[in-house]
Amino acid sequence: MRKPIIAGNWKLNKTITEATNLATQLVEGLGSISDREVIIAPTYTALRRVFDVIEDSPIQLSAQNCYPQTSGAFTGELSPEFLQDAGCQCIIIGHSERRQLMGETDLFINQKVYKTLQAGLKPILCIGETLHERENKQMFDVLSKQIKEGLADLTAEQMATLIIAYEPVWAIGTGKTASSDQAEEAHAFIRRLLKEMFNNEVAGQTRILYGGSVKPDNIDELMAQKDIDGALVGGASLNAEDFIRIVKFKKQIS
């Protein structure tokens, strides 16, 4: 059984005061929820104050990025160890905005994944194809490269805590969600690949989240798919009511 995860990526939004207010609303609205995991990823500057708000709740803290070195002459960067010191349990790695805007490569992303695991934190590895790649029938090749290179040299044991987020770039922040069939097709492909690269157990245990314009009105259908284990939510995670509804997605009774 894979426990569902709903993660909110706040990106470059919410001042420290706004972030602590939103976190307070989530703590109150979600109570002691335990049949699903909830993760929020505020900006770096808000991390510690948000941690103080959620510390005694089931909500976990995530960073949106990291640098793959512990400490030293790396001006402006933060390592997994420093993020852990701020209260983080997870780190989002390889988000499409960082791949596209900051030119992050699969090799660099792999170094971050490795370092995050070494520090004892959970990486949320983001992958996904652009519209151009999908239209040119390159989707499976792109996903395969991102997974194989992003997870290069990891052992099956190291995969135990890693989370994958499939986020088709054309669906992020655009209001266009992949249909549940399109999302399921990609998730099933990723799971088959994990089986090939590692083993049945890794394929069966790894949580694969869907991301791309997830909203209160599409979460239930997405979560009804066999290989969709949760969601990485951008825009809708900035509103407490919407995010709480997404976290409280309705389970289909089969």
Catalytic residues: 95, 167
In the complex, least distance from residue 18 CB atom to ligand PEP, rounded to whole angstroms:
17
In the complex, least distance from residue 253 CB atom to ligand PEP, rounded to whole angstroms:
27
> How far is Cα 185 from Cα 174, in angstroms, rounded to an integer?
21
CB nearer to ligand PEP: pick between 143 and 232: 232
CB nearer to ligand PEP: pick between 68 and 235: 235
In the complex, least distance from residue 181 CB atom to ligand PEP, rounded to whole angstroms:
19
Q: Is 182 exposed, middle or buried (0-12, 13-18, 19+ CB in 10 A)?
A: middle
CB nearer to ligand PEP: pick between 197 and 240: 240
Beta strand residue intervals within the chain, DSSP E: 5-9, 37-41, 60-63, 90-93, 122-127, 163-166, 207-211, 230-233
The 10 Å Cβ neighbour count of residue 106 is 18
CB nearer to ligand PEP: pick between 100 and 199: 100
Instruction: Give the residue nearest to ligand PEP (CB).
Output: 234
Are the beta carbons of 44 and 78 closer than 8 angstroms? Answer: yes
In the complex, least distance from residue 7 CB atom to ligand PEP, rounded to whole angstroms:
9
In the complex, least distance from residue 236 CB atom to ligand PEP, rounded to whole angstroms:
6
Q: Which residue bears the tokens 């959620």?
A: 54
CB nearer to ligand PEP: pick between 19 and 214: 214
Per DSSP, the chain holds a count of helices (H) and strands (E) of 11, 8
- Tokens linked to 148: 């194989």
Q: Find the helix packing angle between 240-247 and 16-30, rounded to 10°.
A: 40
Compute φ and ψ for 173, nearest 5 degrees: 70, 10
CB nearer to ligand PEP: pick between 80 and 235: 235
Q: Which residues bind ligand PEP (CB under 6 A)?
A: 9, 167, 172-173, 211-214, 232-236
> How far is Cα 185 from Cα 188, in angstroms, rounded to an integer?
5
DSSP 2: P
**Residue of 74, 29, 20 whose CA lies nearest to 48:** 20
C-alpha pair distances (Å), 179 with each of 10, 44, 92, 219: 24, 33, 24, 11
